[in-house]
Every structure is written in C-alpha cells, then in structure tokens.
Amino acid sequence: MLKFLNNLFDENKKILKNFTPLIKAINELEPEMEELKDDEFLAKTEEFKNRLKQEATLDDVLVPAFALVREAAKRILGLRMYDVQLLAAIAFHKGMVAEQKTGEGKTLSAVPALYLNSLAGRGCHLVTVNDYLARRDAGWMAPVFARLGVSVGVIYSGKGEQPALLYDPEFEDKSQSDERLRHLKPVSRKLAYEADITYGTNNEYGFDYLRDNMVQSLDEMVQRGHFFAIVDEVDSILIDEARTPLIISTPDTEPTDKYYQFAQLATLLSLDTDFVIDEKFKSATLTEHGIAKIEKKLKINNLYEKDFEIIHHIENALRAKSLYLKDRDYVVKDDQIIIIDEFTGRLMYGRRWSEGLHQAIEAKEAVKIQQESKTLATISFQNYFRMYEKLSGMTGTAETEAEEFRKIYGLDVLVVPTNQAIQRDDKADVVYKNTRAKYAAIAEEVAELYQKGQPVLVGTTSIEKNQIVSQLLKHK
C-alpha cells in the first residue's frame, strides 16, 4: 500500500509539472482577454471553431479558450478562476478524475473543460447526483456560456412526460425564488440534448439511453451520442453505484393470490436450515432440507420436476422476508410499497422491483398486489458511462479509489492542490481487520466525544449501515 501511494504521488507531481506550462500560458493571455469588448467573445468562439475545421485539435486551442472562459466568468460572475481550478479543468479535458477539496470550486472548474469540448459540436454532459444541483449549476453557469455563444440545457426527473429546460436570458419564471433558476425555459428533452452542454443526473441519462433503444424511429431518439462527460461525485456514481441496474419494465400478467400463499409458506422456513442467503447479491437459495419441507407442504414428489415457477416464487418470498426490510429498504405508504434509495434515503415513487420481487414484498406486508412487470431494457451505470469517448470526473475523495478508476474505466486520478494552505487537520485513514471492529471503534469514538459535548457527523454509504451505527450508539 505504501509503495502504491508513493508511486501515486510521484505520478501526481509529474502530471502537475506537465500542466504548469499550460497554466503559465493561460495567465500570460489574461491582459489580452481583458481588452476584449463584451460583443467580441462570440467572435473568439467562432475563431476557435474555424481553427478546428482547419484540422487544429482541441489541445491546440486549449490555452486561449481557457483564458477566454476565465475572463467571461470574471465579468459575469465576479469570480476569477484560481490556477488550481484551471489545473482541474485541464484534467477533465484530458479524461481524468480530479480530486478537489471541499470548497475549492468544482462547479466553476468544470466550465472551461465543458466550453472547450463543446467547440467540437457533439454535445457535452455534466452529470450531477440530484435534480436540484443539475438545475442550479446549469442556471448559475449558463450566463457565462451564453456570453461565449454556447447553449445550455437541463434534463431532470419532474412533472411532465419528458421534463427538460433550456437557458434563455429573454425568458423569466418569476415563480422561482432562486435567481439562478429563473431563466431556464421548459422545452422538449430532445432540445435539451441538442444544446452544446447538457446538465442532468446519472439516472436520467441512463434511462434516456434505454428509452432511445426502444423507439420505433430515429426521430424519436433524444440523445445524440456519448462524446464527453464530467461526472460529479464520481466515486459515488462510478464505484459505489456502478452495479446498480437501471430497468425499464412493462406490465406483464395480472397478479394472483399465489403471492400471499408463498409469503405464508416463507414464514415456515428457517434461515440456514431451510434456506441460505447471499447479502451481496441479494439472493436466497433453498437447502435440501428446505426443498423436502416444501415438497411435503405442497404434496408434490419432486419440486424441480413439477414447476420451476414455484421455486422462483418461493425464493422471491424468502428474499422479501430476509433481505428486504421495512423502513430500511422500503416503506408502506397509502397501501403501497415505496422503495427507499439506499444511497440517499429518499423515497423513490413510481419505481418497482422487477421479476415478481415487488409483488412478494406486497404479499409479505399484506397490501394490495399490483400487476407484475416484465423487463424491457436494462443497463448498469458502469456499462453506460463506459460508452463515452472521453469520461472525466470530480470529487473530494478519489485518491483512495485510484486503482479501481484505472482498472475499470482507464481513468487516472489527479489530486489537485488547494488554492491556499489547508487549515483543517485531515487525519490519516484507520484500517480495521473486519467490519465489526470498525463499527465498534466508531461507536467508542462517538461516545467519548459525546461526553465532551462535541457533535459528530457520521457518514456511511447506505441506510443499512446507518442503522448498524444507530443500534451501536443506542446500546452505548
């Protein structure tokens, strides 16, 4: 581990050293950019596009393009980008993950890279973790892009069939209390994707891709390819949620009382004796003893000869009983099962588990069973984001996942230094032999600080782990 970290930081210093001449060149152009009149910014953008048509590359126009963006942001937002923000922007353009400490301005750092790549005319995507950030960041940065002649769209999950927005300085929604959201005009999702830069969440990009693969004609497709993307909170989306499947399903068959029967049968089976579970893959498998018990209850000689559908329903009932818990994985509200997002804790209205699992949970909780669904299209976040020709990301914590980023996505990590010397005392990571020891140490530490009257923020990766910590703290 020590060797890996030493190599990482040696490589980090080397990359920073290679980028330094570019930062110096950008700074040297600052006096020239300050001389530009407001209406000359558009002409500069056209100049860059013409150079690209004459076989220049994006790297060839990086320095003047970044200098132009910094000047535009300074005039529009009153914010002059620090050199370290430009370093991060270069990393994004090069298809890297940039680690920037909290408060170092990731939102603004993305702007030069998005602008530069938008000059190719193929569309750039900024991926956020929720709808509010997508709209806020787009509305906040759009005036800078508008000065440069670049259009900005937003896609989000909201009311309407395909909720989407386009920045329009002439439009004003006075109902918005947040000034940054007032000039975002409702448009079709296709128009939002046709903008030079599109902001949106990882879920919406993935579902739009699936929907595009189900349309009857090319005219109905909304996305126009996967050229360049910057992923915010990249470690969460590309590592923690990498295997999360996005699924589009359709109603299949009418529900029957069989779900209630199998839910009742599942209550008669014991963990380890009659069935075993795999928590990682969220699966349940019958043991020989369990098979014999079910055959006796159902009065059949051979369960596997009779009907494979019975096994499928029993295993779903066992999964519902042992792996999907009320108020952790779902809530019961208005006689419906509402899924809880394990990463955010938010209720996911309208989402359902597929292949009969949702019905098994409905039977377990004795609520009305809805129609079964059949999977039409599915893709994981990992497979979706690997389709981009150039992928980059930003986060406050990427260094620890550097090896995974490199192996899975071919992404190098650049640790960007802070603009000023950091005052916060960042302690080194403490590694434990097993999960139990780790959580016991967390509880002990919190208990000691609690006695001093010191508040503690404990962050975990899921609702389930929150509850483990909660139980330990209650015990103390």
User: Token pair of 224, please?
Assistant: 């126009």
Query: For residue 433, what is the DSSP state?
Result: S
CA angle centred on 349, ends 346 and 352, rounded to 5°: 105
Q: Would you give the DSSP letter of residue 157?
A: S
Contacts of 319 (CB under 8 A, 6+ apart): 277, 282, 283, 284, 357, 360
Name the strand (E) or helix (H) holding 112: helix 106-118
The hierarchical CATH code for the domain 253-371 is 3.90.1440.10
pLDDT of residue 92: 98
First to last CA, the chain: 34
At 336, which amino acid appears? Q
Task: Give me the pLDDT at residue 253, please.
Answer: 67
pLDDT at 345: 78
Distance CA 156, CA 364 (A): 33
* pLDDT < 50 regions, the chain: none
The answer to whether the CB of 136 falls within 8 A of the CB of 179 is no
User: Which residues in the chain are classed under CATH 3.40.50.300?
Assistant: 2-243+381-415
Pairing verdict, β 347-348 and 413-415: unpaired
Q: Which fold has domain 2-243+381-415?
A: Rossmann fold (3.40.50)
Closest by Cα among 388, 380, 339 to 246: 380
pTM here is: 0.77
Buried b or exposed e, range 269-286, using 16+ CB within 10 angstroms: beeeebbebeeeeeebeb
Per DSSP, the three-state class of 261 is helix
Pairing of strands 413-415, 97-99: parallel
Mind listing the pLDDT tens digit for each residue in 17-69?
Answer: 999 999 999 999 999 999 999 999 999 999 999 999 998 999 999 999 999 99
For residue 91, the model assigns a pLDDT of: 97
The pLDDT of residue 192 = 97
Tell me how many degrees the CA angle 347-350-351 measures, rounded to the nearest 5.
75
Residue 3 pLDDT: 59
Helix (H) or strand (E) run with residue 192 in it: helix 189-194
Q: How many CB atoms lie within 10 A of CB 13?
A: 11
In angstroms, the Cα distances linking 16 to 62, 98, 144, 210, 428 are 16, 11, 27, 39, 23
* pLDDT score recorded for residue 144: 97
**CA-to-CA distance for 442 and 426, rounded, in angstroms?**
17
Q: Which amino acid is at 183?
A: H
Element (H, E) at 278: strand 275-278
Residues of the chain with CATH 3.90.1440.10: 253-371
